[in-house]
Amino acid sequence: MTSPTRHDRRTLIGTVTSVKTEKTITVEVVRTFKHAKYGKYLRRRKRYLAHDEERKAQVGDQVEIASTRPLSKRKRWRLVTVLSKASLAGVEVVDLAAQVMAEITGKADEGKPGEEGAR
């Protein structure tokens, strides 16, 4: 008798769109298919929540995810590998419009409590 093996799991490849939650990433998978009647090629996207235990993935990375048992209400996928890193990984995004307005008006950011200029 052969030893029992783990079943093959369904895998998908997509792009990480969010890493804001604890040990969870949002992966967007795009699929292209031909319309049955009209023959036009259509593109559809779907977002999946995937478990990232080691927090390896960043926004913009291409990742492979595999189906697994339910981990939460919406999370039924887990991160297998990071296929390619994003070109802007680790780069801080600066709000240029806010900086220009601050220079024009001569005021600091007033929306953040605890800083100077906050009321």
Q: Which CATH architecture has domain 11-88?
A: Beta Barrel (2.40)
pLDDT score of 99: 81
Series of mean pLDDT values for 10-residue runs along the chain (119 residues): 72 96 96 97 97 95 96 97 82 70 75 51
Q: Which residues contact 104 (CB under 8 A, 6 or more apart)?
A: none
Exposure on the CB side of residue 114, measured as CA atoms within 13 A: 0
pLDDT score of 81: 97
Q: Is 59 exposed, middle or buried (0-12, 13-18, 19+ CB in 10 A)?
A: middle
pLDDT score of 101: 80
87 alpha carbon, distance to own chain's centre: 15
Q: Are 81 and 58 in contact (CB under 8 A)?
A: no
pTM over cut 0.75: no
pLDDT score of 113: 54
pLDDT score of 7: 77
pLDDT score of 119: 42
> d(Cα 102, Cα 110) in Å, to the nearest integer?
10
Q: Do β-strands 41-51 and 75-84 pair in parallel, antiparallel, or remain unpaired? A: parallel
